[in-house]
């Protein structure tokens, strides 16, 4: 087993990986940018190395620097987390060539599956169904437009080199096509350093359902059931759950087998995720394979009891999987809410600033994977996701009740967050019934936002009185300075706070 | 002290009176007894007729409180404000009509207009890239572009004036 691992990432995922490593008795090395000197992953690590200025192209994407830190620190392996260099073939190859273990699949598998066009071509050779679309990235705009017309609008433009909704655009009509391709290309270039995009059919009432895969170097490939990820906005997931309320055991087993076949088709090693779109007739199509740990992996961990990072590390060190397919048993239900620094009321615009106040929920079945603390600055340099709240319950209803309870405890003051938005989704009757698809947000947008704004007179009065009380206290405090005598009002005693 | 609560154009008249360590809230013929104890800076335990609330007031957000996990936007208008409004002068809505500023810090990657261009409500004005996403800022007004304060490729802070429309 490794003695020291470098984590080539920041934020909640760096912390998530470091926690498991420490539990396994492995030392952890952090890398950080100038903006992240006091970021939580730096504080947690055994060693930490500055790798460059704040922009990620000069720090977290600078693999020459990261490799030199690996050499200097004596790390035997590199865990890339998700995003940044996790799906970069060149990085994976250079790590291996430097004699360091890349905790992830072989570069060849990343190359096939990380490139959605190549992945499609690969899948066309298997029994796994794929969504109709272009075979090649868009080179010629008028040719691509012909293909789009052939498939029929609406079509989806997607980045060939990335994921997470970046570089993705839906196009409803031919006259919007060229403009949308340009936007997708620019966004994709800036997010992944790769401006290639392609076109595919946009399915009606689709569910986004993905399967977790684990494969070792001894020829074993298993799946750990599904995650339902249909609650999205701007093609980015906000809430995920497992099991999916939409699929039954028969479909689960069919899709699980397809996921295993997908992984085997590219000789996959490590943890990966096979994403499918499932239409309302329960036809499923291969969407893409993410050759890394997913943001939402804790949902699977909560229902299967398996630490996916620990499995990744074991696989990378050459050990066989600790579990067989028939040992996989999902217990209860898990729901993840992503907490973004975004203003839900203003089209999820990123929100930056200082976290002035923070209260993180706890209690039974409540897990928060995050990397925030009071006084910390949320900068515009990196992804706006601050963490994930994952709640487990013995069944779907109790997991949802628990999520709602925990979200109510959650308080991040000073910036806008998606906490309240997640609450209004979880309260929504269609979500509660489990009959939602990926259009949930578009369909119920107004209801969700109305719910966000709904209050009673009593609540407004309490809120108003609190504001009045707070402003009075500040006034008292500033009036008090220079005076030797305490004001006699009882307001002053309350401002001092409880002593217990 | 008489106040008016303005929560997104929903108005509530209220009278606050201090009674020892309580605040008596009178509104619409109802009376509530409010008691707040600060548990950490800006966070209060509030009991209102024995119902328990946790209320956060952030120093950077003067017109918002977080009440049992729910953010509530509201303004507290005192007698002076109310009087000024009766005179037709709304001090709270200082108009900066025509000046479009960056709502988020980021990199302006594209400006769609030049001075002299006519724009309508909803027309794209510029693209700003923040947190790896490209955000299209649309015009809130109809008019003519008078001034452009920055150039493409410039990094801007929140609040930087970008385009003036008259």
Measure A453 CA to nearest chain B CA, in Å: 8
Instruction: Give the distance from residue B134's alpha carbon to the nearest chain A alpha carbon, in angstroms.
Output: 6
Fold for A4-103, please state it: Rossmann fold (3.40.50)
B159 and B117 within one domain? yes
Q: What is the CATH number of the domain that holds B41?
A: 3.30.700.30
pLDDT at A490: 32
Residue A200 bridge partners (DSSP) = A133, A156
**B74 inside domain:** yes
Chain B, nearest residue to A166 by Cα: B133
Structural domain contains residue B94: no
Q: What is the structure's pLDDT at A68?
A: 97
Domain co-membership, B14 together with B77: yes
Write out the CATH class of domain A207-453.
alpha beta
Which residues on B lie below 8 Å from A419 (Cβ)?
Answer: 69
Instruction: Look at phi and psi of residue A431 and say left if phi exceeds 0, alpha if psi is from -120 to 50, else beta.
Output: alpha
> Cβ separation of A463 and B42 shorter than 8 Å?
no
Of A489, A355, A473, the closest CA to residue B44 belongs to A473
Residue A292 is among the residues annotated as catalytic for this protein? yes
Chain A residues touching B76 at Cβ < 8 A: 464, 467-468, 471
- Does some domain include residue B91? no
> Which of B21, B26, B36, B124 is best to mutate for the A interface (most A CBs within 10 A)?
B36
Cβ-based burial of A84 (10 A; exposed 0-12, middle 13-18, buried ≥19): buried
Q: B48 vs A470: CB contact, 8 Å cut-off? A: no
Q: How many CA atoms lie within 13 A of A84 on its CB side?
A: 28
Q: Which residues of A touch B66 (CB under 8 A)?
A: 411, 413
Domains: count for chain B:
2
Residue A482 is given by DSSP the state: T
The dihedral formed by the CA atoms of A39, A43, A46 and A47, expressed in degrees to the nearest 10: 50
Identify the CA nearest to A80 among candidates A9, A162, A2: A9
Say if the ipTM goes beyond 0.85. Answer: no
Q: Is the pTM of this model over 0.90?
A: no
Size of the A and B interface in Cβ pairs below 8 Å: 176
pLDDT of residue B59: 77
| Interface contact B134-A470, CB threshold 8 A | no
H or E element in which residue A186 lies: helix A177-192
Q: Are residues B53 and B103 in the same domain?
A: no
Residue A426's pLDDT is 97
Q: What CATH architecture is A132-201?
A: 2-Layer Sandwich (3.30)
**Within a domain: residue B12?**
yes
Q: What is the CATH number of the domain that holds B159?
A: 2.40.50.100
In a domain, B92, yes or no: no
CB contact under 8 A, B60 and A353: yes
CA distance B148 to chain A (A): 22
- Listed as ranges, residues in chain A with pLDDT below 50 are 482-500
| Cβ <8 Å between A346 and B37 | no
Q: SS3 for A239?
A: strand
Cα→Cα distances B130→A123, A182, B122, B166, Å: 35, 18, 21, 27
The C-alpha of B95 sits at a distance from chain A's nearest C-alpha, in angstroms, of 20
Task: Determine the Cα–Cα distance for residues A111 and A347; give it in Å rounded to an integer.
Answer: 34
**CA-based nearest distance B145→chain A, Å:** 23
**3-state class of A472 per DSSP?**
helix
Give the closest of B8, B37, B68 to A408, CB-based: B68
Residue among A186, A191, A413 whose CB faces B66 most closely: A413
- Of the candidates A292, A338, A367, A402, the residue annotated as catalytic is A292
Last residue of some domain: B86, B118, B152?
A: B86
CB–CB of A382/A10 below 8 Å?
yes
Q: What is the pLDDT of residue B92?
A: 41
Residues of A whose CB is below 8 A from B70: 408, 420, 423, 455, 459
Where b means 16+ CB within 10 Å and e means fewer, A390-426 reads bbbbeebeebbebbbbbbbbbbbbbbbbbbbbbbbbb
Based on the fold, state whether residues B79 and B103 are members of the same structural domain.
Answer: no
From chain B, the residues in CB contact with A384 under 8 A are 131
Mutation site for B-interface testing, chosen from A54, A236, A357 by largest number of B Cβ within 10 Å:
A357
- Print pLDDT tens along chain B (166 aa): 889 998 887 889 999 999 988 999 999 999 999 999 999 888 999 999 989 999 999 877 778 999 988 889 998 888 777 766 666 554 444 344 578 887 777 888 889 998 989 888 778 888 888 766 677 787 877 888 888 988 888 888 877 888 888 8
Would the CB atoms of A414 and B12 count as touching at under 8 Å? Answer: no
Instruction: Please give, rounded to a whole number of angstroms, the shortest distance from the CA of B78 to a CA of chain A.
Output: 10
B107: closest chain A residue by CA:
A380
Q: In which domain, by residue range, is B73 found? A: 2-86
In a domain, B93, yes or no: no
Q: Which residue on chain B is closest to A361 by alpha carbon?
A: B69
Sheet holding B106-111, edge to edge: B133-138, B124-130, B106-111, B155-156
Nearest CA in chain A to B68: A408
A465 vs B25: CB contact, 8 Å cut-off?
yes
Could you read off the pLDDT of A436-458 as tens digits, one per residue? 999 999 999 999 988 887 888 99
Q: Which of B86, B118, B153 is the last residue of a domain?
A: B86
> Which among B60, B86, B112 is the end of a domain?
B86
């Amino acid at each position: 087993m490794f003695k020291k691992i470098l984590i080539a990432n920041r934020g909640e995922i760096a912390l998530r990986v470091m926690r498991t490593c420490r539990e396994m008795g492995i030392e952890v090395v952090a890398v950080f940018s100038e903006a992240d000197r006091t970021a939580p992953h730096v504080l947690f690590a055994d060693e930490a190395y500055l790798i460059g200025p704040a922009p990620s192209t000069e720090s977290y994407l600078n693999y020459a620097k990261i490799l030199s830190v690996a050499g200097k620190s004596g790390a035997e392996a590199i865990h890339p987390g998700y995003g940044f260099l996790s799906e970069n073939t060149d990085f994976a190859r250079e790590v291996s060539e430097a004699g360091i273990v890349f905790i992830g699949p072989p570069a060849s598998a990343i190359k096939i599956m990380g490139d959605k066009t190549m992945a499609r071509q690969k899948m066309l050779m298997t029994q796994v169904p794929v969504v109709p679309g272009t075979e090649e990235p868009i080179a010629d705009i008028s040719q691509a437009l012909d293909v789009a017309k052939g498939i029929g609008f609406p079509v989806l433009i997607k980045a060939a080199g990335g994921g997470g909704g970046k570089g993705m655009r839906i196009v409803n009509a031919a006259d919007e096509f060229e403009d949308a391709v340009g936007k997708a290309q620019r966004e994709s270039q800036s997010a992944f350093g790769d401006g290639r995009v392609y076109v595919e059919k946009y399915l009606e009432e689709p569910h986004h359902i993905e399967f977790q895969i684990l494969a070792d170097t001894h020829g074993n490939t298993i799946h750990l059931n599904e995650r339902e990820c249909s609650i999205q906005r701007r093609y980015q997931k906000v809430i995920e759950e497992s099991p999916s309320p939409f699929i039954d055991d028969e479909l689960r087993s069919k899709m699980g087998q397809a996921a295993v076949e997908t992984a085997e088709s590219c000789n996959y090693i490590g943890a990966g995720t096979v994403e499918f779109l499932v239409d309302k007739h329960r036809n499923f199509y291969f969407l893409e394979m993410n050759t890394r740990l997913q943001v939402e992996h804790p949902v699977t961990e909560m229902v299967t009891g398996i630490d996916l990072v620990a499995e990744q590390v074991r696989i990378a060190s050459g050990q066989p999987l600790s579990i067989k397919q028939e040992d996989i048993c999902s217990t209860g239900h898990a729901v993840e809410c992503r907490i973004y620094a975004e203003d839900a009321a203003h089209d999820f615009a990123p929100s930056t600033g200082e976290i002035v106040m923070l209260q993180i929920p706890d209690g039974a079945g409540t897990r928060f994977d995050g990397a925030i603390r009071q006084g910390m600055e949320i900068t515009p340099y990196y992804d706006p996701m601050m963490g994930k709240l994952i709640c487990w319950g013995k069944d779907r209803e109790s997991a949802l009740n628990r999520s709602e309870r925990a979200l109510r405890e959650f308080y991040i003051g000073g910036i806008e967050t998606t906490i309240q938005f997640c609450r209004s989704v979880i309260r929504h009757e269609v979500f509660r019934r489990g009959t939602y698809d990926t259009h949930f947000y578009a369909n119920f947008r107004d209801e969700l936002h109305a719910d966000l704004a709904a209050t009673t007179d009593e609540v407004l009065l309490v809120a108003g009185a609190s504001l009045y009380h707070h402003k009075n206290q500040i006034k008292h405090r500033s009036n008090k300075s220079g005076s030797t005598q305490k004001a006699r009002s009882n307001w002053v005693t309350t401002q001092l706070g409880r002593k217990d | 002290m008489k106040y008016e609560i303005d929560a997104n154009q929903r108005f509530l008249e209220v009278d606050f009176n201090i009674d020892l360590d309580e605040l008596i809230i009178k509104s619409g013929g109802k009376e509530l007894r409010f008691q707040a104890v600060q548990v950490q800076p800006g966070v209060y335990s509030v009991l209102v007729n024995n119902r328990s609330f946790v209320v956060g007031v952030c120093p950077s957000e003067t017109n918002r409180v977080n009440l049992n996990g729910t953010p509530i936007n509201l303004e507290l208008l005192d007698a002076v404000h109310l009087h000024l409004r009766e005179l037709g002068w709304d001090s709270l809505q200082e108009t900066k009509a025509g000046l479009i500023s960056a709502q988020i810090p980021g990199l302006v990657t594209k400006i769609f207009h030049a001075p002299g261009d006519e724009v309508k409500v909803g027309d794209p004005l510029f693209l700003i890239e923040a947190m790896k996403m490209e955000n299209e800022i649309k015009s809130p007004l109809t008019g003519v572009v008078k001034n452009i304060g920055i150039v493409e490729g410039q990094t801007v802070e929140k609040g930087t004036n970008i385009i003036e429309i008259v």
